[in-house]
Structures are given as C-alpha cells and as structure tokens.
Structure 1
C-alpha cells in the first residue's frame, strides 16, 4: 500500500476500526447477540439494563482498538521513513545521529562508543495483565491479520479471505473468554515471559540492527564502521520470574532451579535453530571456490575432537565445507535432542563450555567467507547468528534474585540463634550494633552453621536459594545470574547482611586478600526517605572492604576496566509514598548524588530503573524518560524493568518491539555523549523544583493522613475486587497486613486508575505550582518557559502530569466516591481531591496556554475514541461493586463468588480501554 506524503493517522484508525468492528458485529449477530452487535460503541446508559456480556464485548473491542492504533502508528512510521523530507521521528536513530553530528561528534567517535552501549530490558512478573496466554496468542494473530491486509496487491477475493480469517478469530476469542478463571501459577507466568525471550526477541534484535545500519548508511556514515556484530550496541535481557521472592512465598529454590534450567534449555534450542537455518543457507561448494586453509584445519581438528559425533556431522553435505562447519557447531552445543523431540541438557567432552567458544568459531566462519570474497553472505547469514550468541548466550536472560531487607533480618536472627548467640534478635539491634557485628564477622570465612535446614522459615528459604545459585555457578558459570537485589534498603547493614547469608553457602568465599562475593549485591531504594539517604548508604557500602574486593573481582571476570556497582531505584513505591513531583525530583537528585559518591570511589554506577506500566509508577515515553535523566547518570549502560501489560503492548508484535528497542538503544547512546552542565537558569529552576517537590510532598501526605482516607480508598475504588482477582501469582500485600504501607504499589495505582482518579499521577502538583504562581510569578514564568523550551526533566514531568490528569475524569470520580458509605468521610476526602484537581487543571492550562483537551490533542484523541464505552463500563462496574459488597457483608459467600468473574471482567475491560493501568 502506498501512502500520501501527509499521512492522516486519525483517518487510518477510523477506517480500520470500522472494518474490524463490522466483522465483530457480524460475528455477534451470528452468535445470537444482536443487541450487543447493534449498540457496540453506541450504547448510552439506560439504568442498569445492559446486555449480560457487555463487559466481554467491550474488553475485546478495546483490545482491537489498541491494535488498530498500534498498526496505524507503525504504518505512519513507514510513510515517514519513505519521505526523505519528513522530520525524523523523536528519539529514533535518525534524529539521535543527526543531533550528535550537529553537536560536532564524528561518525568514528559514535562508532567507537556504540559497542559499549548496553540495553537490558528486564521482564518482571508484576502483572496487571489478566489475559490468559491463549488469549494473548489470539490477539497476536489478530494483529498479524491487520498487518496482512495492508498489502495493496490483494485481490477482492483475497481481501474477503482475510476478512473471513478475522471473523473466525473473533468467534474463537468470544468463545474462549478473556481472563484467568483461576489464579495463574508461576509456571504459566514463566511460559509467558519465555515466549518473549525465546520467540520474540531473537526475531526483533535483527530488525533493530537493520534500523541502525540503514539509518547509518542513509546519513552518509561509513558502513564499514558497523559491519561486524561486535560493533553494534549490546542487547541483553533479564527476568525476575522465578527469582523475585519479595513477598512471594511461592518462589522456592525448586522454582529458581527449574527456571535456570529451562532458560538454558531454551537458549540452546534457540541457537540450535539459528545454526540449523544457517546450515541450510550457507551451501557454498568447494568445486566453485577453494576452501581457506584455516577452515580446512578447523574442520579436521574439530572432527577429530568430537570422534563419532564429528564424523557424523561432516558425513552430511560432502563438498560443502562451510555447511559441514556449521554441522560441527551444532554437534558441539551442550544439548541433545531425544527421540520424542524433547531436549536434554547434556555436556560431553568437546562440547562448547561457554558462548565465547562458539563466537570464536563463528568469527572463523565469517572470516573464511570473507577470504573467498563472500563478505555479503557473511553479513547476511553469519552476522545474525553472532548477534544471537552475543545477546542470549547459553542462558537466554539473566535471572535476578530479589528479597526484602526485613526478610533477611529475620534470616540472620535465625542463624544467630542456631549458632547459640543469646541476643539473636538481629532485627531489633540498633544500627551501631549491627554495623559492629557485621564488620567483625565478615572478616572471617567460617560459616555459622553446617549445611542443612531447620534454622527457621526465612533462613532456610534464603540459604536454599543461595545454594541453587552456587550450584549454577559451579556447573555453568555466572552468565545466567544477575544480582542479589535487596528491596527496601534502609541502611548499609541491609546490604552487608546479604554477604553474611551468602557466606553460609559459598557465594562469599575467601580470596587472597579477604572475603569476596561472587554475585553483585544491589540496593533497591524505594521510599522517599530511603532515596534521600541513598548517597550516604552507597558511600558506606563502597567503603566496605568486602564490597571493594567483590567489585574488583567481578570487573576482572567481566573484562571491565572499571568496577561497576549496580543501583536499583524504585519509581512505584516512591510515587505511592510521596506523589509524582516529590518522587520524580527525589529520584533525580538521588541519582546525581550517588553518581558523585561513586566517582569519588573510582566506581561506575549502573542504574537499574524499576519503572511500572503507568505514569503513577514511573512510566512515560521511553525517549523522553532517557533525556530527562540527570546528565552523567546514564553513561551508556541502561537497565530497566518492563512490567505487566506493557510487555505485550511494547513487544507482542515485531515492528512495535523493534521500534521500542530502537528508542532504548538510541536514547542510551545519546545520553552517553551528554556531559553534565549547569547554567544560571538551570540553577534557578532547580531551586524552584526543590521547594515545589517539598510542598507537593506535604500536600500529598496530608491527603493520605487525613482521617478516613483508608476507608475512602477501599470503598471508592475496586481495591477489594482487585485483591480477589486472578491477576498474577503473588499476593497484593507483602506480609498480609491490611495497612496502606503494606499494600504493593501495583494494586494501589491499579485501583485508583480503575475508578479514574489517577491520583498518584497528579495529586499535590497543583498545590505546589499554584503556590509558586502566587508567591513568585517570575519563577512560574521561568518554569513555564523552561517546559515549553524543552528542559528535558521539566518537560517530562509536566507532560506526564498533564497526561495523568487528562485521563482522570472528575464526573466518574464523583460516582465512585458515592460508594463510600460514611457521608462525613466521603465529603471530607472528596472535597480535598476535587479542590486539588481544579487547582492542577488551572496551573497546567496556564503552562500549556489553554485547555488540555485542545492543546494536547495526541492525548485527547485516543481518550475521545474510548470515552463512551468507558463511561458505560464504569457504570456497570460500580453497580456490580455495590451488589457484590452487599452480598459479602451479608455473608452470602456463594452469591458473591458467583458475581466475581463478571466483576473481574469489567476490571479487565476498563484496563483494556485505558491501556496502561498499573
């Protein structure tokens, strides 16, 4: 299909949506649902008389709308790419490389930096994604049909066939059902994550590479600078599924062991598949070109080393030495295919011990092609396999292990009790006593206990996990293991305590100069208070001799010239704790302060950004997020979480996934060249944000601490239904306590967004900026101009707040607030929210120069497409909540349980309509 120079995105969306909905209506009529078919996206509220399966119909329709919009955006990108006069898309390689060139950076300088750029998305099991894996597969198929119908060469008969395939799929989806009827287990979550790691990313990385190399050539840069696989940015992938233990009792040592084994199996199967495809393509005959001597010698040497396996490998494809070489590489993979087509990990003499040996053999293969003048084939055929080995190794993704600091405290106490220490209540010791004990104890290699269990629930769980990690290192090395991440890091001893526990299992061992830890220990700073103390905690940790030795050892093992300390910063809990403005600015300042501390210690920092799927949990456009980071905090090494429904939104479809990887790699590259600088205007702006963040924090905390707030939250949002839902395998609370502090940030944000408050994405900002406008009009104008003239941190913050409050809906909030039974509480709390909503709207309109619905059309238009359907679903959900709660209060468990699936379907449908909910 050809596109005009001016691509009408809205028209494209409307046309495609009409086509899909027409198909859906025809299917509904054929399934005896004429009322739904007639009124889909046309329904007006008529009391409570709605067709029984309204929520399911709208859940499906919203997902189709999301896919239509996604496809339209991709088609627009293609149209822009085909137009040489078009402005480059923001954040993509073309714009980034042009900006670097305009800044005086040469192609050679960029190329020299690219191999040091590392991007690592980490897929986590914090799902607000309720759809079953089967349904996700059907949705992926639906997207492919949308893409398929873009081909302008189809005949009318062929188009009718595509339409028929869509209708088949729509009926399949309707009859399957949208959501989990039982809570998903860890195995199903792991299968979902493995789908992306095993199936999606190996196909998407080559597309992302092509985008960079094509743009590089189009801008007139020397293609030879990016010819080899090791000249490109490094993509790595991580996962928490099977390793994240924070408040998750079902992640046992057996689950971790199974996860590591399955990831290794899938990585090797992926490489076997890549090599098999390479063997099919690389069919050069020795009759037509002389085999280079280096390859001849390698074939003889490798065949002899493998014995019968080697002879069998080269017996095939005689006269085709390059193909024989690939056959030998397949034979050397430490995996065997059984008669029933199952795979078995199996290391034999002569097998590859690690990916570096396979990479060396692939390099030799590429060089041998180059030697006979087949450089084109080396780049086309061998290059993608080299990249797959680089990106996925023999482990597919690194597995992090996360646990809460309080859990570690109890484990240490149980170790002390087992060792006969009278005062073993480690969690109750003051900080000075804890420091003195750990400092002295960690000078000795002796463990507290002998191998075994029975120490206590927490100690047994931690040590069993660490033994699995030690066993993995002993057998396969450390490539598949990430870090030991400590949630809720409050002080230096929370990190040092991990060393003590690791010593029990050999993860901490005696080196020549003292104890050394095999794996990185990583703090996770989450709350506002902890972020404010983070620089001091890091200083103490980096001053600790065991940390210094461990970082030096880890750097030497990884071939790094500078020790690297990873730091995880949490966006979700800091936002829940202090609101969006205080969270954003505290995170910004904490990263700056920690970077300065690390520089004094001669250590490089690798920040791991724990972002969620909605603005209230740190989300926002990736390229703007990267530009808004403090200069010097991102030096070419990016690690960030991808959570919940955002995994499918970003990576389920190849073209969208390639664009998202491109945005991350291009943004990280640009940030690597950004030097810290500060002018007088920025100094003034920083002072303004210092005061605004504190005022916003106070306003936000005042709301949370207002009498009756918790009761308002629990009744004005569907939090109780969400806690009963089948979303994710982990509990919604860390310990089971009913306190607000124990509630995870995910259900907190999810529930506020379901009832359209979007509270954590804007509350407190209006109070702070209104005070600035009244008390310091000149400062407010400076802030307004800085946002509009694009000071990246301010632009990112204000844009996110504006998007959050635009997605909020005051009229819908009022109707959910009506569910709060105590009139005094309802009136008191909602008055505060309504007042702050009005204040925030006014200051944002002053900044943007008019109503947000007019000045921010990119946000308004998608909302407008969904507004009528969402209003209907909110009405249905409120009525269901009211009735469900009445049944529960009356003790009618059977009736309330019978209502729950329908209520959960409205939650899923609203989530689909809003797109990012938690």
Structure 2
C-alpha cells in the first residue's frame, strides 16, 4: 500500500472526498462501458451506486461472474477491476492532497507528521534556533534513485492515460466552470477512460531497457523539474508560518538539495541486456534531456531579464564576464551578443545558452565542461541584480534556474553501475588465465590469497593485457562498461556518474577486485604512485550474514591505501570538508533471507556499527537504502522510515531507491510528488539535527536482539522445511510471474531454479499475489509470544513503548509494518491457493505451519495494540476493506486458470497453455493494482 494511504490527517477531511471522487470516476467508467456495448462488464464493476462509502455492502451481485473460464466477459471483468483499482488509488491520492490543503488553509499543518511545518515547529520547540536550522538545511541532500526492474506491471501508455484522468479529475473541482464547461470536462474524462479501456494493460512483448529508460526519463525530465519549485515553495511557506526570518533562505545554497539517480541502463546484476553500448547510450540520453531542459529554462529566463542600459548602470563584473565569454566562444558568440543590444543581462543569458555543452560530442572551446561553471555564471548574474537593488528578480528569475542546475546539472541523474561480486570473480579469473597464471580460478581462492594478489597488482599501473576485453565474456562486459565511464570522466569529469556498486559483497577482495578491473579499463590513475579511482566503489550488503560482517569489511576497506587516496581525490573534486564513503544496504534479500524482524533489526545494527567505523576513520558515511515497494522489501510510511534510522546514519544525506510501481504512485502528479519529496527532505533535516541528541531506546536493543533471533529461527523453519520449494512453486503464481513481460531483467540471477537464485522481487510478488505475504510477518508472532512467556516484563516494556505517545521509532516502525503486512494477508485466500499443491502431505503440513504462525502473530500484535487490529488501525482497515471484496473473484479466477495452465503444460500441450497466459497475466495485473504493490 502507498505510504499516503495511512496518512495521519483526519479521516473527517479525506474520507468524504475519496467517496465523492471515486463515485465520479466509477460512474463515468460505467457509462463508457455501457456506451460501447459492455453492459455485462459495467454491471459487475465494484462499489456500485448506492454504496455511499459503506464498505460492508454485499457485493455478491457484482462478484457473480460466469463459471466458464473461457467466457470473454470474465476476462473483461478482470480488466475492468484492474482499471477500477487504479481509479480508487487516484481518488485516494487526490483526496489526501486536497485534505492537506484544506487543513493548511484553516490552521497549522503541524498535525501532518513529517511535513516541513511539523518538523520545523518541533525543532524550534525543542530548542534549535532558526539559524541552526538554516545552517543544517544547507547540508541536506536527498537523492531518490529510480529503478525499473521488474516490478512495474503497467505499460507506459497506460501510465500516461492514468495521468490524464487524474488531471481531469483535479480540473473538474474548480468552482469557476459553467455547467456546460463542467459537462465538457466530464466528456473528456470519459474519453480518457475509453482510451485506457481500449489500450489494455498486458505487454505483448517483453520491455527493452530503452523502453524502461523512456519511462524513467519522463519522471526525471518532466515531472521532477515541475515538482521541485513546489517543494521549494512549501519550505518557504512553512518557514514563514513557524515565525522564522525569510532572509535566512535568500541564498539558494542555503536550501536543501534534491538530486536524482538512475539504475536503468547501469544495473548489470543478472541483466545481460545492459551492455557497454547501452550504458553509453543511457548516459547520452540523460545528458541530452538535461541540456534540452536547461536551454528551454534559460531561454525563458532571458526573455524576462530585459533590463536596459537606459534604466540602470551595468556592474563591472557583468561587463568583464560578458567580454571573457565572447572571447572564449569566438565567432559563434557574435549572434548571441548582437541579438539584444542594450540589454546586457539578457545578452549574458544568451551567452550561457550558447556555452551549454553538446551532449553528443566532445567538449568545445568556450563551452561549459561541468555544471559548476554554469552555476558560477548564474551567481554572477544574481549578484549583479542584487547590486542594482533588484533582489526580487534575482530570487524569482535566477534562483529557480540555480536550483535546477544544482539538482540536474548537465546529466539529469547520476547513473550507478551495479554488478554481482561473482561476476567480477569470473572476470578476474579470465584475466588471470589470459595472463597464463597457474590456478586462475580466482573465485575458489581463500580471502588472504585473493587480497594478496589484488594488493600486488594494484601497486602497479601495468594492466594484465592491453585489451582485457579479449580475455572472456565476463571480462569483456565489465571492462567494456568501465571504459565507457573512463572516457566520460576524461571528457566531462565525474558529474553524472554514480557509484560502482558490488552486489553480494562478502569480503574486502570483492571491492578491491573492482579497482583491479578499473585499472584494466583505464579508469584508475596513479597521480602520486598510489592508485586513485574517480568513482566511489560501494559495497552492497544484502543477506543477514552480510549485514553482520559489514562493519568488519568496511573497516578493512577504509584502511586500504587505494580507498584512502580515492576518497580524498573525490573529496577534493566535490569541494567537501570530509571524505564520504557510500555503503548500500539491501532490504530485499535480507528480508527474503531472514524475515521482517531479523532484516530490519539487522539493518539497524549494521548501520549503527558502520557509522562508528566511519567516524574512527574521519569519513562521513553515506548510506544508500535499497528499498522496494512492499513491506517485505523495506517499504513503509516515509516519515516513519526516516525516523527509524539509527543516529548518525542520516548525516545530512539520504539516498534510497524508488522501484517499479512506487515511482508512479509517489511521483506521477506534481502535488503528490512534492509531498513525498517533502517527507524525505524534512525527515533528513530532522534526523541530521537530532543525531547529536541520541533518543532514548528504552533499554529495548537486547530485547530486539532476542526477537530477531527467535523470529529468524521460526522463519527459517518454514523455508528449510522439506518440500518448501514445491509448496511455494504451486501455492503461488511464481511460474506465471517468471513468464510475464513486466520487466526487461530475468527473474532469476543465473536461471537456476533454487530459492537462492530467485530474486527477492518476484519472491515477494508471488507471495503477495496469493495473499500469504509471509516475508512481511512470518516469525514475529512466535518471537513475541516467546518473549511474553519467558520475559513478561520485557514484553510489557516493549508493548508500552509501542503504545506511548513518544515511542522509540525503530520499534514503532517494525510493529506497524508487521501489523500492516498481516492485515494484507488473507487466511481464506491462502487456503484456496494452497489447494493447488498436489502433494497433500506437503500441502497440509506447510499450510498448517503458516496458519499456525498467522494466528500467533495476530494474537501477539493484538496484545500489543490491546484490541482487534481492525479497530485499532481503522485507516489501514478501511483501505483493505474497500479492496478485499472486490479482489475475491479475481483470486478465484487466478486459481482456476493456474490449474488449467499447469495441467496443459504438464501434458506437454504448451501451445494450448500459451493461449491462457494473457488471461493469467491479466489477473496478476489486477491483483497488483488492488493491493497497490507487486514486488
């Protein structure tokens, strides 16, 4: 579920609006269906007229579908439900946005937990001065990193139609429209709904990386540039409303910085389609869109800065810079200089436009090489306007462009390159074999031997071979990609190039191997005889065991001379006061490995320990959170997630992934996008300042250690049980998901049909479809009840802390997420899917284990909440109650089709089975839409 669904705003403002908007959309949709001859489908739409918000209404009539699985009406009913769930999501999104506006117009917004006003007011109340807060704001940097693999179940064209419908819904609220104009808007909404219906959601072909980048470019190049000014205004409004001096925000560098990252085109882990050419193409596409946006924005600014010589004296600084730019740009500058004679500020902006780099070619004389050069010119422009007394023009005209360049530069988003450590091992082994080294099986060497070789090789700039790409397929892939990055650094500097991320980092050698491969590609330099890498090498700690070993690995890595030299070079280039080491932590594989409690507590412990390691080395730790869109993969209310991080883990800097459908849920519309970015930036400010005043942990860490141990033990009892993989393969639609076309990347890392090889995303997706969601709650019930039995006082201390007004955020976040995960599971639907398991002994034993833990978890959580979860958590209950009855017939159809499809495949009738696959995929899409999440 989306974070905004459980907003803390009053139901009194949001719920009537949701009902009103949902009725408007559903009535229009029903009319469209009837007008095009789909009466049978229109009759079976959920939430029929007369519901009036009563979610307990009997839906037996609209859920009465034909029994024949081949009846086309059934398939169209499934698709209509999918559309209906999307419309419900839009109604909820709009209602929550409007309710926030209503509350803000009527009084303080401090009640909106996590908002700018809430954070600023609380900080002031707790003793921070406005000057201290303003100084901390300048340190705040937030970087969402967009990924596409493989969770987005909607086509790009479908996303477009949904955005149009949302915009029309918002437009229809304007009270200025005449009745005729309002009718016209309704007809436009119906036309958009008809386009959506006639488009369909099933992807006929597996998407390409290029297609996925097209979706990401929409958000990076269009939505976020529109959103950031809204975010800035939200901060200014909150700043004034809490009584702070607006002058403290005058300098644009005293504002938070929001930048963006991208994994599409750079994430190579188990993705054979991401070739060096694709990475180079991705970088070019990102740069081209960034330059195009800047050229347009500078052109609009130039049109406004028509200040003439007849009204003001030109400051010498402007004249000097104009003259220098004209000389550097040569004859090409003549037209730009002569275009607006007598308007020097406009001429200056014309020169800036001319000096923008060509994204498809090498640097040219007089052109900007790095965005910091354009920022310097914008600061000259602003300073000369302030010198005239035109501060308003500096703030309103130049300030937004300055902020745009700070956020997007000449690259739009930083592109990370990620690869698995095992893939690197094979690449190194191929280089060793090509160099005719005995025993070249690098992967099988012990850690001391691996580190010894890497240290010896890194001491020399001499590569193994002049063309390492001929050593083997893995070597060619890695070195080819790193050569693309090396060329980019040589031509344009490191801007726009993110981290070299090593999945499944198990030891120091996994990181040093990247340095070695970078040497082979010419990315490493030896300025003072010590190797220096211009890009950060970043470990990714994913499993529970990896998280436990992370501090020791980080210690050894920061001790290494190549790392120290590289961090110092990166610090000088960035102009910061301390070197920064980025570390990525994975929520997906840790949750898959150990369950919710062990994963979240393991992440907390690992981050705390790594902060201490970094501090000992004088290094600032930048934690990169690899979160997904579901609770099992680290999702949860944004403001609570940020608060739950350990002290020091967010030191002015928050980097996190936004994956799949989460991107469109959070950022498809400007108001919602601004609010979600506000939660991230305000939360980062709050965490940064409060880190100096450690919060009371109520003595709970030892109890959390016990819970993590007991919960993981119980969770592994399920995963390690005899027949588990057979149960999972048959009781969930994992085989359908692996046959789907919703992402360009394979569902498995190497194609082996093992639990270890299966990616966490489809793992969670399959459990979600069949409503087990075991990775979101399984194990916590046993752990809590064991604690209550063995240590009643400790259990009561934990429960009291959760119930208290002022709680310990990590505990609050964990218990709330587990309760939401359990509420999303459905005992009856689990049992229905388990009926697909053919081995009755395996079915009964493992379903019994799951249902037993389900009951334990419900009992334990209700003991903490002191009552039924549905009563104690009414917002979550309402969200699920709206969707649950409408999902029932889709689950029933999916189970029916799974049985047919699997039987045909088992009989070798693949051609007949393939005819049912689109219908199965339609149920997958519809259930994902209803639950608001895939993997």
The alignment's TM-score, normalised by the length of structure 2, stands at 0.95
- Residue 652 of structure 1: aligned partner: 668
Secondary structure of 2:684's counterpart equals: helix
Q: Which stretch has the larger CA shift, 902-911 or 121-130?
A: 121-130
Rate the CA distance shift 1:85–1:634 in 2: closer, same or farther, 3 A. Answer: closer
Whether 2:706 is the aligned partner of 1:701: answer no
Which of 909, 912, 915 is the matching residue for 2:929?
912
In structure 1, C-alpha distance between the alignment counterparts of 2:581 and 2:721, rounded to whole Å: 40
- State the distance in 2 between where 1:532 and 1:295 align: 57
Q: Does 1:314 align with 2:337?
A: yes
CA contact (8 A) 1:5 1:79 kept: no
- Report the counterpart of residue 53 of structure 1 in structure 2: 76
Q: Distance in 2 between matches of 1:346 and 1:138?
A: 39
Alignment of 1:319-330 (within 5 A): 319-330=342-353
Alignment partner, residue 469 of structure 1: 485
Provide the alpha-carbon RMSD of the alignment.
1.6
Q: Do the aligned partners of 2:647 and 2:694 also contact (CA within 8 Å) in 1?
A: no
Partner of residue 575, structure 1 = 591
How far apart, CA to CA, are the structure 2 residues paired with 1:893 and 1:5? 53
Contact 2:150 2:745 in 1 (8 A): no
Query: Per-residue displacement from partner, 1:878-913 (whole Å, max 9, x unpaired)?
Result: 111111111111111221111111110110111111
421, 424, 437: which one aligns with 2:440: 424
Aligned position for 1:338:
none
How much does 1:74 deviate?
A: 0.3
Query: Are the aligned partners of 1:7 and 1:79 in contact in 2 as well (CA < 8 Å)?
Result: no
Partner of 1:307, secondary structure, is helix
Aligned residue in 1 for 2:273: 250
Match of 1:8 in 2: 13
Equivalent residue, structure 2, for 1:143 = 166
Residues 21 and 528 (structure 1), Cα distance of their counterparts in 2 relative to 1, 3 Å cut: same
Structure 2 CA distance for aligned equivalents of residues 887 and 38 of structure 1: 32
Cα shift at 1:803: 0.5
Q: Structure 1 regions of 5+ residues with no counterpart?
A: 336-342
* 1:677-717: CA deviation from partner (whole Å, max 9, x where unpaired): 668x7363111110110000000001001111111101111
Report the counterpart of residue 546 of structure 2 in structure 1.
530
User: Is residue 2:524 matched to residue 1:508?
Assistant: yes
1:210-609 pair list within 5 angstroms: 210-335=233-358, 345=361, 347-609=363-625
In structure 1, the partner of 2:25 is 20
Q: Could you tell me how far apart the structure 2 residues matched to 1:170 and 1:798 are?
A: 39
Deviation at 1:86, TM superposition (A): 5.4
Q: Deviations over 1:786-826 (max 9, x none)?
A: 11222100000000000010011111111011111111110
Displacement of 1:7 in angstroms is 4.8
| CA–CA distance in structure 1, aligned partners of residues 109 and 496 of structure 2 | 43
The Cα of 1:667 is off from its aligned counterpart by 0.4
Counterparts in 2 of 1:304 and 1:62: CA distance versus 1, 3 Å: same
Which of 763, 766, 783 lines up with 1:768 in the alignment?
Answer: 783
CA contact (8 A) 2:584 2:626 kept: yes
Equivalents in 1 of 2:792, 2:597: separation in Å?
20
* Paired position in structure 2 for 1:714: 729
Q: Which residue of 2 aligns with 1:340?
A: none
- The question of whether the paired residues in 2 share the 8 Å contact of 1:551 and 1:564 is answered with yes
What does the per-residue CA deviation read over 1:175-206, in whole Å, with 9 as the maximum and x for residues that have no partner?
Answer: 11113111000000011111111111111111
Task: Indicate the residue corresponding to 2:739 in structure 1.
Answer: 724
1:339 aligns to what?
none
Match of 2:50 in 1: none
* Equivalent residues in 2 for 1:668-687, closer than 5 Å: 668-675=684-691, 682=697, 684-687=699-702
Q: State the match for 1:868 in structure 2.
A: 885
Q: Tell whether the 8 Å contact from 1:35 to 1:51 is kept in structure 2 after alignment.
A: no
Residue from 30, 34, 38 that aligns with 2:39: 34
Deviation larger for 437-446 or 571-580: 437-446
Change (3 A) 1:370 1:676: closer
Cα distance in 1 between the residues matched to 2:328 and 2:284: 27
Kept after mapping to 1: 8 A contact 2:733/2:770: yes
Matched, 1:800 2:817: yes
Choose 593-602 or 720-729, whichever is displaced more: 593-602
Distance 2:876 2:214 in 1: 34
Could you say what secondary structure the match of 1:609 adopts?
strand
Deviates further, 254-263 or 363-372: 363-372
Instruction: Summarize deviations over 1:205-235 as a string: whole Å, max 9, x none.
Output: 1111111111111211111111121110111
Q: Distance in 1 between matches of 2:618 and 2:319?
A: 48
Query: Displacement, 1:88?
Result: 2.9
Q: 1:346 to 1:155 in 2, by over 3 A?
A: farther
Work out whether 1:829 is the aligned partner of 2:846.
yes
Moved more, 211-220 or 68-77: 211-220
TM-score, normalising length: structure 1: 0.97
Q: Residues 287 and 906 from structure 1, CA distance in 2 versus in 1: closer, same or farther, beyond 3 angstroms?
A: same
Which moves more between the two structures, 739-748 or 348-357?
348-357
Asked if the contact 2:698–2:808 (Cα under 8 Å) also holds between the matched residues in 1, the reply is no
Secondary structure of 1:116's partner?
coil
Q: In the comparison of the two structures, how many residue pairs are matched?
A: 907
Residues 255, 119 of structure 1: alpha-carbon distance in 2 compared, 3 angstrom cutoff: same
Q: Could you tell me how far 1:774 is from its partner in structure 2? A: 1.4
Q: List per-residue Cα deviations over 1:245-295 (Å, max 9, x = no partner).
A: 100011000000101111111111111011011122222233333333332
Answer yes or no: is the 8 Å Cα contact 1:265–1:345 preserved in 2: no
Give 1:895's match in structure 2, choosing from 912, 915, 929. Answer: 912
CA positional deviation for 1:637:
0.9
Q: Which residue of 1 aligns with 2:56?
A: none
Which residue of the other structure, out of 651, 659, 682, is the alignment partner of 1:635?
651
Judge conservation of contact 2:468–2:520 (CA < 8 Å) in 1: no
| Structure 1 counterpart of 2:760 | 745
Displacement of 1:146: 1.2
Give 1:184's aligned residue: 207
Using a 3 Å threshold, how does the CA distance of structure 1 residues 513 and 52 change in structure 2: closer, same or farther?
closer
Distance 2:423 2:11 in 1: 58
- Structure 1 stretch 638-647 or stretch 864-873: which is displaced more? 864-873
Whether the 8 Å contact between 1:48 and 1:876 is mirrored in structure 2 is: no
Determine which of 44, 64, 77 is the counterpart of 2:63.
Answer: 44
Tell me, which stretches of 5 or more residues in structure 2 are unaligned? Answer: 1-8, 47-58
Question: Does structure 1 conserve the Cα–Cα contact (< 8 Å) formed by 2:363 and 2:492?
Answer: no
C-alpha spacing 1:301/1:255, structure 2 compared with 1 (3 Å): same
Q: Does 1:75 align with 2:98?
A: yes
Structure 1 residue 740 displacement after superposition: 0.6
Check whether the contact 2:65–2:74 (CA below 8 A) recurs between aligned residues: no
Q: 3-state DSSP class of the match of 1:516?
A: coil
Q: 1:308 to 1:437 in 2, by over 3 A?
A: closer
Q: Distance in 2 between matches of 1:20 and 1:601?
A: 58
Structure 1 pair 47–711 and aligned structure 2 pair: CA distance change class (3 A)? farther
Contact 2:413–2:496 (CA under 8 A) maintained in structure 1: yes
Deviations for 1:656-681, whole angstroms, at most 9, x for unmatched residues?
110111110000011111236668x7
Contact 2:213/2:264 (8 A) holds in 1: yes
| Cα-to-partner distance string for 1:581-604 (whole Å, 9 max, x where unaligned) | 000111100011111111111211
How far did 1:513 drift? 4.4
- Between 306-315 and 34-43, report the one with greater CA deviation: 306-315
The Cα shift of 1:563 comes to 1.4
Residue 750 of structure 2: aligned partner? 735
Deviations 1:115-138 (A, max 9, x none): 111101101122311211111111
Is contact 2:378-2:398 (8 Å) kept? yes
